[in-house]
Structure 1
């Protein structure tokens, strides 16, 4: 498949100012310093810079003593918070980068020195529109945590509630916007000169990063994420999500309930507190299942620093800047795919990918099934406690080039979450495999999704649309049939897709016939109930006829919906 044409950055990032050019030169110098010549030498403007950099003694020493991945990590650490964030996101993109670089980028830590407390206090006062003493009874000047976007202070609200106040770093938005413009410029130039950069869609990757980091900059949006997750687990005590204090929250300041708990990555403290590790493992599996499959809304940054254990082995989470969303059809396909892999039914696993349109329609399904077998067997043919579906999903991403599978950003986030949840469960209970524990839940959920309850819920959701379409249906159907009879319908057919299109057309005509028949019977039933004296002429109550016609009409419409689901 030929590489796509070079992409252009969004309009807001196309105009470069002097500060952008200076930043580009510093980035080029840093990459050259760490021997990353290929990242800048491919762009003609920077080639002289790359050639001269080879004469620098420090560069030659670093190249000899560090791997390529380690040098990339060091360069990103030196370039500051936006590049550290980019490196962390790239560490989840196993479809883009080799494993040695992924391992190094995974070690990037988003920890930077705190900014002065006076600046934090001024930011809070400006954002909340009141002196600090009016907004809080207490406000600890020393932050309890600091990262590239914001830092957290402990405070006490006027009603006595203890709160965590997250304050955005002053000036960080300008820094990030400058670096985003430079990243887009580098990506666009790379796509212009490198075929591989176009295939990997460098500009689109930077675009995904821009969306993620903009979400993290908006602390009010992070509060909305936390509120949604808290509402989802309102009746489930295994996970506690802190309450948001909206009266003390803005785009620059987020105030939430203070979370008490033991850090999940400190086993000595957990053992001293006599935490039930088996129950914590089960809770982690249950939390993952509800977030991903029942709700389709999951915390996408559940690394150990964001997870705590509270009384009763309850899990508690913080930091809601990155959330993943899975639509209902994505959840069904994911569950179907995981169950197929766990059963080692690679034919069904391949079919699921085709149905979900994760692979093109003209994919060689025999070859794809064989590739899935090669991906899964090394993962599944291990002791039960060592089976990792996160590892399987990672290996699946690595087949994207061969079968032209487009990257699914939400599945990339999900794979990262799976790694974290598997790690939590395995650290607490090495003998447990959460996927075997989840298998019955997945089967039960899939049966619910394909059962009558799901069908009834879909009918209720579609009722307003049917109410709008039914009065127009006779006229639209008549016009369609008239055009078909007069040979006025034009179909553009392609050879490889012809059989599939024929099947879809036949199925569409069949569904249309059932829908039209059902609608006609419903209208006839309603009309018969309104005709005066009809029952006397028929010799039985008119409502019998009306009910029979309406029942037959509903049955026909229901059949058309069931046929569509198949």
Structure 2
């Protein structure tokens, strides 16, 4: 009976939220989209009469701008979804990405009594039992949590990150609705299947659920602290495990100024060029040595400390890189420095994970032809003159054109590099991203020839060969039995059609994209 009641309550909440979402989309001129999804019935009949067209007050706004305004009004889940999409140029066009980047994850703070309640419920004792003092005014308030300064009983200055009341339930409700909407998009607007809306929502739901579990963030922070143990220039604050729950995180306080506070850094008497170098150096340690990186390096998460160290906070979003990925990234960077563009293309294809059904040689020829117009001018540039942001942007767009399957962690890496390049140039106009990255890349490539590493690789290959030798006779036996029973089926694919199919597929996708956007205008 209780389970049925909870289901009924959630259903009622879902219906109420769906109605709100539909009304917001109508308000921002997406009535025809709502009609295509057959969702117009959730609003009163009088509002259905206004379902088509763009409201006069929004007539001067572009479609991406109107969608941003709608997401902003719909709150945390949609703001977070837009931020995920903004870092996925393989899924949305640049005008949409640029608009979504404008979304600010800043909201009014919630009352302090909720902070006290969360501490008491999750830690089992009142705040006074754990803390000497807590500042009631938060230093930051975002859609998922807010942060307060506090002091432990032993005098240690800390910060407390506390989740918003009921935010988990709110987001879970929105995830259910977003999954339903994405399914309806595929059902009622088949051409949207190219953009994989159900996959986007699934990826978003995994990301946001991890962000909602502060125990995961605590584990990430502890891992970063171990990775940078003894590092002279990087500070990762300590986590207090006994004061961590899914909704609560207590960590050591960082004293310093934001990395984009140019005046503040000058007041500390620090060298901005050195700060930029330290930041990029730290991230390339993560990218090419650790394979585990802080994936949200916006200026609010990077602090310059009075002693010149760089402090990192907010470890909710992280990326992973396999050893093979790290080697390909390193090789690509070295190839760029040496202007060995054939090798660069080889490594970029390796990173893109081209599907097995593609004719690799034909693909390389097409890919090289598309990218050569950008690469040729690099021959006449010094490394310091190469614009890494333009370089990454061009490579990404060529990859998208060829529908390369780019892993989400590589997209996070791409986003990090663009942000770091922007921060570096703000700190130092002569900042050069590639020259700082190259030594890490060269060191990783040299490690390929380390005797211990070669021995491990040989050991693995011998194991693989042993497995092959063990399993092959059995597989041959199964094959022969099928032949003797006349039960062998061979799948045949006509040769020479793959390029034609790809060309038709691309043309269809371009047409689909225009069809999807047309009703929104």
Q: Is 2:319–2:413's contact at 8 Å kept on the other side of the alignment?
A: yes
Whole-Å Cα distance in 2 between the matches of residues 482 and 141 of structure 1? Answer: 74
Counterpart in 2 of 1:187? 182
Q: Deviations over 1:391-432 (max 9, x none)?
A: 433333333453231232111111111122111211111112
In 2, are the aligned partners of 1:223 and 1:320 still within 8 Å (CA)? yes
Quick check: 17-26 or 147-156, which moved more?
A: 17-26
Output aligned runs, 1:145-160, within 5 Å: 145-160=140-155
Alignment of 1:111 onto 2:124: no
RMSD of aligned Cα (Å): 3.2
> Is residue 25–residue 34 contact of structure 2 (8 Å, CA) maintained in 1?
yes
TM-score scaled by structure 1?
0.77
Distance (Å, rounded) in 2 between the aligned partners of 1:342 and 1:130: 58
CA contact (8 A) 1:375 1:396 kept: no
8 Å CA contact 1:151–1:169 kept in 2: the answer is: yes
1:439 aligned residue = 438
> Are the structure 2 counterparts of residues 310 and 476 from structure 1 closer, same or farther at C-alpha, using a change threshold of 3 Å?
same
2:285 to 279, 285, 290: 290
1:455 aligned residue: 454
* 2:299 counterpart residue number: 304
Separation in 2 of the partners of 1:426 and 1:380? 23
**Residues paired across the two proteins, number:** 479
Cα drift, residue 486 of structure 1:
10
Counterpart residue number, 2:161: 166
The answer to whether 1:362 aligns with 2:359 is yes
Q: CA deviation at 1:217?
A: 0.4
Distance of 1:47 and 1:63 partners within structure 2: 24
Measure, in 2, the Cα distance between the counterparts of 1:487 and 1:119.
Answer: 68
Using a 3 Å threshold, how does the CA distance of structure 1 residues 219 and 386 change in structure 2: closer, same or farther?
farther
Greater shift in the superposed pair: 45-54 or 435-444: 45-54
Aligned twin of 1:18:
12
d(CA) in 1 for partners of 2:185 and 2:472? Answer: 52
In 1, the alpha carbon distance for the partners of 2:19 and 2:380 equals 50
Counterpart-to-counterpart distance in 1, 2:286 and 2:108: 33
Task: Establish whether residue 73 from structure 1 lines up as the match of residue 72 from structure 2.
Answer: no
Given that 1:379 and 1:392 are in contact with CA atoms closer than 8 Å, whether structure 2 keeps it comes out as no
Gaps of 5+ in 1: 1-12, 499-566
CA distance in 2, matches of 1:159, 1:48: 56
Which stretch of structure 1 is more off in the superposition, 347-356 or 201-210? Answer: 347-356
SS in 2 for 1:53: coil
How far did 1:257 drift? 0.4
Q: Which residue pairs with 1:123 in the alignment?
A: 118
- Secondary structure, counterpart of 1:165 in structure 2: strand
* Separation of aligned partners in 2, 1:347 and 1:469: 31
Query: Residue 52 of structure 1 aligns with which residue?
Result: 49
In structure 2, distance between residues paired with 1:399 and 1:35: 33
Deviation at 1:302, TM superposition (A): 0.6
Aligned partners of 1:300 and 1:414 also within 8 Å:
yes
Distance in 1 between the 2:160 and 2:322 partners? 32
Distance 1:19 1:378 in 2: 57
Q: 2:112 and 2:379 mapped to 1: Cα distance?
A: 52
- The secondary structure found in structure 2 opposite 1:126 is helix
Encode CA deviations 1:193-247: one digit per residue, 9 max, x unaligned: 2244211111111111111110110011100010011111113222111000001
2:408 paired residue number: 409
Greater relative contact order structure (CA < 8 Å, 6+ sep): 2
1:480: Cα distance to partner? 7.1
Deviation per residue, 1:305-348 (Å, 9 max, x gap): 11110133211111111001111111112222333344443332
Q: Over alpha carbons, which structure has the higher Rg?
A: 1
